[in-house]
A and B are shown apart, each in its own frame.
Chain A
């Protein structure tokens, strides 16, 4: 059992830190809202096709699977860990789904297989990180090659493509036809709500911030840090499983290069959302806003036929500016304050 509780004195310490923290986060999220508004405004001006409900709906399908994985990634980075094997887990899960589909398994069975294999991969990462106390960046770079390698060895230059239409409709279908909300986008919104509530409104969420701020102190105050880390890796694997089911169903194909490079897109979403690699800092609304910003910019630039490489350059620049600007401003403000006093 977790011994963590908000005793009066720790609550008081929290309140002081919370107001300061809230002020900071509020600024970060305000900046993100402004950035999103600017991106939408620019897009509507440069392309007459941007503000079209069907086009926007198409746009969401292209980032929803990544966005689902960004949610557990947020929690992992929040507690000072990272999972770089997410894209490779998506590949190995897709392989498992493909093999079972070839054996004639029914669509719902395939979904369960996907979730189970994903969770198993996550548990493997979690056991190495929490059980053997290895650094997660090293472990998941290793499992990134391991999982991707399994898919490459098993598939060679072949692809598994004979998925049943009922399975494919899961990835290609809509929850409601007007406005056209794709299944994957609806799942992302629902999960974002759950993650937001858990992180910001429950004791478990506060425990994650405590671990992220100081894992040693959190352990001494009675939190089971190792178990929490393990659970987060399993959660990451599980949602990679879900993302893989959605992606495999949407494109109806398993190739060894499926989801290549997604780990970096997903980490970009989380970092732009204001989650700090130092741990203990970041919010789900921030990450959700960042996902919308990145989705909007990517979509807008592709509507005016920017090449993929050019879009990467723009996103890289935005990332650096948004991360660097607050730090530079803070440093300037500090210098100004110390100069005037």
Chain B
């Protein structure tokens, strides 16, 4: 029989050395712990991004010990279908709900009902309005994302050449925030020779993004770089660069899924791009939920909790905690992540 270190530790801790050994382990699996049922509800089934976040959630559940993770979502990304799913989880009296909301406000009555029945409600990825959740686990800070976008293209272009932004729709909340933060970063002196020449909108439609990129080539013959902070835009822009024979002259960066962006990176059109790791979001969401349900954390604003491999995560005064780091992809790690999402 092979004894794993975890088994030995568990046996010892159960045998009375709990206090001593427990201090050396972040999450000791006490035998008397109540089995928790944590439900992770995402926007819709069949999305790779969320499947990856589920793996993170499962990892957290394993580390917490004695946790059953229920992963579910509606078939359509509508809020009324999501309410139906959440209602059935409330009926099962799960211990905690970790939700990526299809509508921040519309889930509030259902979330309040859950909390009234003693269920801990958290949101992750896409938040529920503050009155409907204890806390929200968010992607990295907007200023971190915006600054990093500009740094990525600057690294590729060696801080020289005209750059344009190809965004989603002109009303897209996230993209507009990021563009503001990019412009803040751009004010720094090191970007003096790398001006931002235009912001255009591809409406998150592949064909429109492609045509907008073509328009940029015509309007700015000296264009060297495009930042596209949307998973659709980055593909459209890369394809336009390749088709126009501008590979090696115009470079693209932005946000995208590694598996989708890999061909453009292999073709030399993209050198670096970024995203946060959806697995980190799921991990942090389930870990917070488990600790709050067991009374080992409050999830209250202005508190800090140790979240496994992500380290100490502070909850800010708005009741949100932000992932500490971005995931920047380049030649060295693209193959590994393209297999995941």
**Which one of B6-14, B17-25, B103-111, B254-262 is at the A interface?**
B103-111
Asked if A259 and B80 sit within 8 Å, CB to CB, the answer is: yes
Asked if A49 and B87 sit within 8 Å, CB to CB, the answer is: no
Q: Shortest beta-carbon distance, A174 to chain B, in Å?
A: 12
Taking CB atoms, residues of chain B closer than 8 Å to A259 are 78, 80
Asked if B75 and A303 sit within 8 Å, CB to CB, the answer is: no
| Alpha-carbon distance between A135 and B45 when the two chains are bound, in angstroms | 36
> 8 Å CB contacts to B: which residues of A101-128?
none
Taking CB atoms, residues of chain B closer than 8 Å to A309 are 45-46, 75
0/1 per residue, A284-304, Cβ < 8 Å to B? 000000000000001100110
> 8 Å CB contacts to A: which residues of B60-93?
70, 72-81, 83-85, 87-88, 90-93
Known: A258-B80, A259-B78, A308-B85. Is A55-B103 also a contact (CB below 8 A)?
no
Sorting the interface of chain A by its residue count into under 10, 10 to 19, 20 to 34 or 35 or more gives 35 or more
Asked if B45 and A251 sit within 8 Å, CB to CB, the answer is: no
Known: A308-B74, A309-B75. Is A303-B105 also a contact (CB below 8 A)?
no
| Alpha-carbon distance between A54 and B74 when the two chains are bound, in angstroms | 22
Taking CB atoms, residues of chain A closer than 8 Å to B74 are 308
Q: Is B296 among interface residues, defined by CB-CB distance under 8 A?
A: no
Contact of A157 among B80, B85, B171 (CB under 8 A): B171
Q: Is B267 among interface residues, defined by CB-CB distance under 8 A?
A: no
Q: Is B304 among interface residues, defined by CB-CB distance under 8 A?
A: no
| Alpha-carbon distance between A156 and B172 when the two chains are bound, in angstroms | 9
Q: Is A218 among interface residues, defined by CB-CB distance under 8 A?
A: no
| Alpha-carbon distance between A59 and B112 when the two chains are bound, in angstroms | 17
Q: Shortest beta-carbon distance, A330 to chain B, in Å?
A: 34
Q: Is A338 among interface residues, defined by CB-CB distance under 8 A?
A: no
Q: Is A159 among interface residues, defined by CB-CB distance under 8 A?
A: yes
Asked if B78 and A252 sit within 8 Å, CB to CB, the answer is: no
Sorting the interface of chain B by its residue count into under 10, 10 to 19, 20 to 34 or 35 or more gives 20 to 34
The B interface, classified by DSSP as helix, strand, loop or mixed, is loop
Asked if B78 and A58 sit within 8 Å, CB to CB, the answer is: no
| Alpha-carbon distance between A298 and B85 when the two chains are bound, in angstroms | 10
Q: Which 6 A-B pairs have the closest CB atoms?
A: A308-B75, A302-B88, A253-B106, A55-B91, A251-B106, A161-B105
Known: A251-B80, A261-B76. Is A303-B91 also a contact (CB below 8 A)?
yes
22 sampled A-B residue pairs with Cβ under 8 A: A47-B92, A54-B91, A58-B87, A59-B91, A156-B169, A159-B105, A251-B83, A253-B79, A253-B105, A255-B78, A255-B103, A257-B77, A258-B79, A259-B78, A259-B80, A302-B84, A302-B85, A305-B70, A305-B88, A307-B72, A308-B81, A312-B75
| Alpha-carbon distance between A309 and B73 when the two chains are bound, in angstroms | 10
Q: Known pairs A251-B103, A259-B78; list 12 more (Cβ under 8 Å).
A: A47-B92, A157-B172, A161-B103, A161-B106, A251-B106, A255-B78, A255-B103, A299-B88, A302-B88, A307-B72, A308-B73, A308-B75
Q: Is A221 among interface residues, defined by CB-CB distance under 8 A?
A: no
Taking CB atoms, residues of chain A closer than 8 Å to B104 are 161
Q: Shortest beta-carbon distance, A55 to chain B, in Å?
A: 4
Q: Is A52 among interface residues, defined by CB-CB distance under 8 A?
A: yes
| Alpha-carbon distance between A204 and B46 when the two chains are bound, in angstroms | 48
0/1 per residue, B311-328, Cβ < 8 Å to A? 000000000000000000
Asked if A257 and B78 sit within 8 Å, CB to CB, the answer is: yes
Q: Is A260 among interface residues, defined by CB-CB distance under 8 A?
A: yes
Taking CB atoms, residues of chain A closer than 8 Å to B81 are 308
- Find the A residue at minimum CB distance from B75: A308
Taking CB atoms, residues of chain A closer than 8 Å to B109 are 168, 172, 250-252
| Alpha-carbon distance between A172 and B90 when the two chains are bound, in angstroms | 16
| Alpha-carbon distance between A269 and B338 when the two chains are bound, in angstroms | 43
0/1 per residue, A251-273, Cβ < 8 Å to B? 11101011111000000000000
Q: Is A158 among interface residues, defined by CB-CB distance under 8 A?
A: yes
Q: Shortest beta-carbon distance, A251 to chain B, in Å?
A: 4
| Alpha-carbon distance between A109 and B106 when the two chains are bound, in angstroms | 21
Interface centre among B80, B81, B83, B104 (most CB of A within 10 A): B80
Q: Shortest beta-carbon distance, A61 to chain B, in Å?
A: 8
Asked if A158 and B92 sit within 8 Å, CB to CB, the answer is: no
Q: Shortest beta-carbon distance, A128 to chain B, in Å?
A: 28
| Alpha-carbon distance between A47 and B80 when the two chains are bound, in angstroms | 23
- Find the B residue at minimum CB distance from A49: B91
| Alpha-carbon distance between A285 and B226 when the two chains are bound, in angstroms | 62
Interface centre among B45, B72, B74, B91 (most CB of A within 10 A): B91
